[in-house]
Structure 1
Amino acid sequence: MITIIEALVPICFAIASGYVIKHLANVQTNVWSGIEKITYYVLAPAILIDTITRHSLAELPWTSIIMVTNTTIFACCLLLAAWLLFDKSLSKPTFTSVFQGGIRFNTFIALAITNALFGDEGLVIGALVAVTMIVLINILCVTTFCLLIKSDNSASPSLTSQLTKNPLIIACLIGLLINILNIQPPKAIADSISLLGRAAFPIGLMAVGAGLELRRLFSDWKPSLLASIVQFAFKPMVALFIISYFSLTPITATVIIIFFSVPTAPSSYILSRQLGGDHQSMASIITAQTMLSFITMPISLWIANQFFIFNSNL
């Protein structure tokens, strides 16, 4: 537990720093929007390419990772769909926010925790876990909007556009291609990508903090509560149950639990605005989950450690 807390403290500090800098230094919202885009389109892809190209992938359990992650996500979808049928007071636009809050994940926080606990070995596994879920989650979220909300917004991105232009998916595919073909990039290029990648975590986490809206922390409490129960209780428990049927290494299993224990993605807000969802409740869910996750994540990881028992100091 001490190791978990020690790994989370710098992450909490980076997020808190972003919030404080934005408000005390009066850094405008459009500046942080630019920082988010740089992180999303440049820095995060750089660290994924750098990590994947520098490590062997031959012995990683691809099939098992896909089965565990996708089955867990589908289980969450079924639970949320059942709730929509049961709770008639929940509007369809608000449900789309609950849905995103229950199945999406914050890539920056997940990779930062994975790196803090397991270093490069964990990052390689984390990159593969992320890409197996990003594709499926984008399909499910966009499909949910299409089924529940009729939008006349011609600027709304199509599913194909969402997937083919996702920089994290593109980065993982580039890294995999370089690794599989055993291509050796020139040292100057490899070092440049590595340098950009090292900036991803601090800048990305500060951007997460800057995006928090504490004034909305207790508004829209019902959607926030429902999404958080799925995100922080149901999802990790289902993943633990499914993992028990696969022969995964303790590190791989724990990395999967990390990705199923982090708050939802800030990009959920953007998608909600683009596709006609309840973006105000989405903002509340993002803020509430980000704050709550630093209480729930140590608990989830401690429970996971009791199952996998590979490091008594975790």
Structure 2
Amino acid sequence: MSLILPILPVLLLVGAGYALRASGTIAQPLWAGIDMLGFRLLIPAMVVHAIYHADLGEVAAGPFVPLLVVALTLVALGAFLLRLVMPGLPDASFTTIFQTGTRWNAFIALSAAEQFAGREALAWLAVAMAATIAVINMVNILVLEIWGTPPEGARTGLGAMFHSVFRNPMVQASLLGLALNLFAVPVPEVLMNTLGMAAAAALPVGLLCVGAGLMPRRLVSASAPMWAGLMLRPVIAPLIFAAGAWALGLSHAAFLAGAFVLAVPAAANGYVVARQMGGDAELYAAILTWQTLLCLPMLPLVAFLADRLSA
């Protein structure tokens, strides 16, 4: 019961978001603006705030980031393996399996980490975001450039890829936080307090948006590519990281943060990218809905593993 209680606020906020959208209390068109508020202001503020206060020396000297990169790389290779063993898999569906396997939802990861391990885990997750978000975006856009079928008139090529990646508020916030931390830039207290206030709103607003995005009708969209995508995340991916974290003796907070990166659902913005660049957007929505429902009860199990196996 002690492991279930920390996830209840997350479940309740996700459920509240769904209820507010399904009941029409907050109309569907308004959720796009709320989601954009979180994506462009609240979450970036939290990322800058967390990275600025993180002890990057401890992270850089340890195996956390290399292990996280290795785990994500193995998940990406798993998507290519599925392409080989499923010869009839359409290119667009492959890009979606790749995206839903490698992208991760910072809203849920940050909230779950704070509930289970407090501020220390948030610092590790902030570093995980700084180390992986830009690379994940670039690799996914490259995969879509090669195997996707972009709509007529859409921008393509390496220039468009870098333009898309570095316009991402999460990438910008990660780079800004890293620069402020590494160069020990003094930030006025009033500005840091402002970032802290915005950061405090980021997680509840983000979880409400996750709930509002749930579409139960997509649960019946069962297909072989969908089940293949679900095996990568949230089943195989966190087990890969957990095995490496146990072997390397990561601390509890680092173990939990990295496992949550690989256990939470894919980032919702991948759906928009799939739609714009010729991926299978409907498959993305179906996998994302299932991932969200499956990952929430799995997070206490991940926390249990971290409790038992971490140093």
TM-score bin, normalised by smaller chain: over 0.9
Deviation at 1:151, TM superposition (A): 2.6
- Number of residue equivalences: 308
Question: What root-mean-square deviation, in Å, do the aligned CA atoms of Structure 1 and Structure 2 show?
Answer: 1.9
Contact 2:151/2:277 (<8 A) preserved: no
Unaligned ranges ≥5, structure 2? none
* Structure 1 Cα separation of the partners of residues 229 and 61 of structure 2: 29
Q: Which residue of 2 aligns with 1:114?
A: 113
Q: 1:94 to 1:55 in 2, by over 3 A?
A: closer
SS in 2 for 1:32: helix
SS in 1 for 2:4: helix
Q: Which residue of 2 aligns with 1:268?
A: 270
Q: 1:135 to 1:245 in 2, by over 3 A?
A: farther
Q: Which amino acid aligns with 1:137?
A: I
> Are 1:187 and 2:189 an aligned pair?
yes
Q: Which residue of 2 aligns with 1:198?
A: 200
Q: Which residue of 2 aligns with 1:178?
A: 180
Q: 1:62 to 1:166 in 2, by over 3 A?
A: farther
* Structure 2 Cα separation of the partners of residues 130 and 261 of structure 1: 15
Contact 1:220/1:281 (<8 A) preserved: no
Q: 1:26 to 1:224 in 2, by over 3 A?
A: farther
Pairing of 1:266-305 with structure 2 (within 5 A): 266-305=268-307
Q: C-alpha offsets along residues 225-279 of structure 1, whole Å, 9 cap, x if unaligned? A: 2111111221112112222443532211221011111111111111110101111
Q: Which residue of 2 aligns with 1:217?
A: 219
Pairing of 1:1-314 with structure 2 (within 5 A): 2-61=1-60, 64-156=63-155, 158-308=160-310
Q: Which amino acid aligns with 2:148?
A: I
Deviation at 1:72, TM superposition (A): 0.9
Q: 1:79 to 1:57 in 2, by over 3 A?
A: closer
* Structure 1 Cα separation of the partners of residues 198 and 236 of structure 2: 36
Unaligned ranges ≥5, structure 1? none
Deviation at 1:63, TM superposition (A): 5.6
SS in 2 for 1:217: helix
4+ residue segments displaced more than 4 Å: none
SS in 2 for 1:89: coil
**What is the percentage of aligned positions where both structures have the same residue?**
25
SS in 2 for 1:16: helix
Q: Which amino acid aligns with 1:187?
A: E
SS in 1 for 2:248: coil
Contact 1:153/1:275 (<8 A) preserved: no
Q: Which amino acid aligns with 2:40?
A: Y
Q: Which amino acid aligns with 1:89?
A: G
Q: Which amino acid aligns with 2:108?
A: I
Contact 1:18/1:208 (<8 A) preserved: yes
